[in-house]
Amino acid sequence: MKKVYSICSLIFCFFLSMHSIAGQNVGINDTNANPDASAMLDVKSSSKGMLVPRMNSAQRTGISNAAVGLLVFDTQTESFWFKASAGWTELVNNPVKTIRDTDGDTKIQTEESANDNTIRFDVAGSERWTMRDERLEPQNAGNSVFIGKDAGHSGNNNVQIGYQAGKNATGSNNIFIGKDAGINETGSNRLFVGPLLYGETDNALLRVNGTLNINNEYSLPSTDGSANQVLQTNGNGVASWADPSGGGSVPVGTVLPYAGHIEDDGSLIVIGGGYLLCNGAIIDSDSGPYVNLANVIDQFWGDNDGMPNTVNLPDLRGMFLRGVNGARNDGRQDPDAVDRVSMLANGTGVQNHVGSYQVDALQHHTHTYTRRATTWTTTDGNTNVWRQDSPHESSGPNGARVSGETRARNAYVHYIIKY
């Protein structure tokens, strides 16, 4: 009966004390010390601690309507967590090894294992990048590097840097640098540097889409020149295409003797160094590599029987060359210049023009010789004269040579023309 009374007394005292401290701060200690005036609850001990609720991460994040300032101990992370207005926040006293999001699948780790010395970047549960020594290494099966919003798509060994660089692109071994560089590209071994540079590494090709400036000294032309033109500078930073002149260069249309062997079948024959055989072959005067030459020789040597956009090359096979008489009139001129004709029936090179033709001839001259005569008188008293022309032949040390043409001693060469 006495024990029951004691218990009841204790219960009565507890409720009485609860009523008395409802508006006061509370101290819990084993020395009867008063609580600190600034604390609602002041717990003191030199031999014991205070346990807050302990739970795993799922239980912690599953607390319904957790109050701001709520404190728990997470048994998975082995750390204290408090509820802030922005979410749960971990309290860490030791060096930070991991920065993670709420569910822990996106994080930065500084030491995954002891003395790892590697910074690891995980996104959505997968390790994407690592940093070790001086290297930043992508972690993907294709060993590709994608940096920039919407950069990269697929493939192996690609480097694609910049906004949308390589977006939707396929293929491998590509290098795309700059905004939209290589976007939607489907090939491999390609190089795009912004809109200015394009390359094909497998074909050793580099293309500049614009003006190429060298060391801020001069710029190369952005369009192609004509056949056989050369690149020249004006000495003031501008380089351009020009027809060769001076300095030992050979003008287009120059005819030279060529001592090499050529099997001539009448077709267009190209000789090294930019020359064609002078065999009357046909060239295009509208496009292609021989346009400059066609402009020079025009139709003087033939117009391919009137076919449009074509002309004939000079046909100098078996020909001696002679300078155009022009305005010469000093006794050494060609006396028959006005009678010269076109080498081909449709050519415009006639009379005193390049491309005209003249047949062989002997200069007009006179030979004098004597006749032998015999006279006698017949029985009827008539006098008769008998004459006999003596043969007259040219002669020389070895006798005269005759042929179907008049010519000087000669040696065969081919004539070639610069295009």
pLDDT in tens, 76-111: 988 899 999 989 988 876 667 788 887 888 999 888
Cβ-in-10-Å burial (0-12, 13-18, 19+) of 329 comes to: exposed
| 221 lies in some domain | yes
In 253-404, DSSP assigns E strands to 255-258, 270-271, 275-277, 282-284, 310-312, 341-342, 356-357, 371-377, 383-389
Residues 262 and 369 in one domain: yes
Residue 359 lies in a domain: yes
Whether residue 40 lies inside any domain: the answer is: yes
- Do 49 and 70 fall within a single domain? yes
Asked if residue 266 and residue 232 are part of one domain, the reply reads no
Task: Select the more confidently predicted residue: 271 or 386.
Answer: 271
Question: Is the same domain home to 270 and 296?
Answer: yes
Residues 220 and 294 occupy one common structural domain = no
Q: Quick check: is 109 in a domain?
A: no
Q: Give the model's pLDDT for residue 388.
A: 55
Looking at 94, 117, 142, the residue that finishes a domain is 94
Q: How confident is the model at residue 391 (pLDDT cuts 50, 70, 90)?
A: low
Residue 189, burial from CB neighbour count under 10 angstroms (0-12, 13-18, 19+): middle
What six digits make up the tokens of 305? 């029987």
**Residue 220, domain member (yes or no):** yes
**What is the maximal distance between C-alpha atoms in the chain?**
219
**Residue 248's pLDDT band (boundaries 50, 70, 90)?**
low
**Same domain, yes or no, for 351 and 232?**
no
| Claim to verify: residue 262 and residue 352 sit in the same structural domain | yes
> Is the same domain home to 225 and 274?
no
Say which range, 2-11, 202-211, 395-404, has the weakest mean pLDDT: 2-11
372 and 264 share a domain?
yes
Instruction: Identify whether residues 272 and 301 lie together within a single domain.
Output: yes
Q: Please report whether residue 367 resides in a domain.
A: yes
Q: Is the pLDDT of residue 212 over 80?
A: yes
* Domain, as residue range, for 58: 25-94
Tell me the mean pLDDT in the region 121-128: 90
Residue 182 in any domain: the answer is: no
The total of structural domains in the chain comes to 3
Share the mean pLDDT of the chain: 83
User: Which residue is listed with tokens 């290098």?
Assistant: 175
Same domain, 229 and 312: no
Confidence (pTM): 0.41
Q: For the chain, what is the radius of gyration of the CA atoms?
A: 54
Is 262 a domain residue?
yes
Domain final position from 62, 94, 126: 94
The pLDDT of residue 396 is above 50: no
Structure tokens, 240:
């351009």
Task: Mark which of 40, 59, 94 sits at the end of a domain.
Answer: 94
Q: Are residues 236 and 261 located together in one domain of the fold?
A: no
CA distances from 390 to 68, 258, 339, 365, 397 (A): 149, 49, 38, 20, 21
